[in-house]
Amino acid sequence: MFARSALRSTRTLAGARNGAANVSKRAASTSAHSDSYAARLNIAAIASTAVAAGSVAWYYHLYGSEAHAMTPAEEGLHATKYPWVHEKMTKTFDHQALRRGFQVYREVCASCHSLSRVPYRALVGTVLTVNEAKALAEENEYPDEPDEQGEIPMRPGKLSDYMVDPYKNEEAARFANNGAYPRSQLDCQGSPRPRGRQPRSWHELQPLLPGTGIAMARVLYDGLVEYEDETPATTSQMAKDVVEFLNWAAEPEMDDRKRMGIKVLAATAVLFSISIWVKRYKWAWLKSRKIVYDPPKETKVTRPYRSREQGSIKARAACSWILR
């Protein structure tokens, strides 16, 4: 028994020594791993800083120290923000203003600027009546289908045709406007002066455009047109009417889109309310259930108490008897 006890104590001492050695090895490896991880982080930070500095230096080499505006509006003055009624969710265009704006466009703007993307049929019911739109379309001629000899005859316009362009091509437009190209009325009000070029003698000052110059002179003056509804044709009134008409020309479907949006929101609200009611009805049994804990009933059977020390003594006695 003494030999077995000595052998057991020797094994315990060797295990303790091996454990201490393993712990020291793990600590050393963890320390080395953390040092290498920190070194890699430092290298990555230095490399990213070098790349960022190199990018800034390369940009400075290409473009210099001059900072350009991101948009033309940031280079010039910002346009005044007006409270347009048609921008509200439940409001629409003023149809009288649309009719007056179309009159200003026809009598003032149509000689240079085109609405070649707007068909005559789009004017029906909003700006003009059916007969007025047909009469306006018939004032212009459009190429028809080839005849038996291959010639293309001209025919009066129809509601399905698009408004005509005042110029045949870009060269003719530039020739008629001193080299400036009057773009479409839906794009802009004229050709802005390029960046860095001095304005010509016939350029008008326009601080809202890049270069603060525009090749279109002022065209709206008080009393230039005579409105059918006897509205005073002041410069501000004509500008307001033609701007609202151009907004409609850019979005002729805005009224239908707002009407459809209100219908969709109303239907969505109703369906959402119904889905909430169905969810509460379907899961009511689960949400309203009650969980009650029912502990086991007490019994009169008593078991003899045995302490932990008594059990350990009996276990050691049994083990020593087995070893013997």
Binding residues for heme c: 109, 112-113, 216
Distance CA 213, CA 209 (A): 7
Residues β-bridged to residue 45: none
- How many CB atoms are located within 10 Å of the residue 112 CB? 19
Buried b (16+ CB within 10 A) or exposed e, 250-286: eebeebeebeeeeeeeeeeeeeeeeeeeeeeeeeeee
What residues form the annotated binding site?
109, 112-113, 216
Query: Taking a C-beta distance cutoff of 8 angstroms, is the pair 116, 164 a contact?
Result: yes
End-to-end C-alpha distance for the chain, whole angstroms: 9
Kindly state the tokens that stand for 10.
Answer: 């020797």
CB neighbours of 271 closer than 8 A, spacing ≥ 6?
A: none
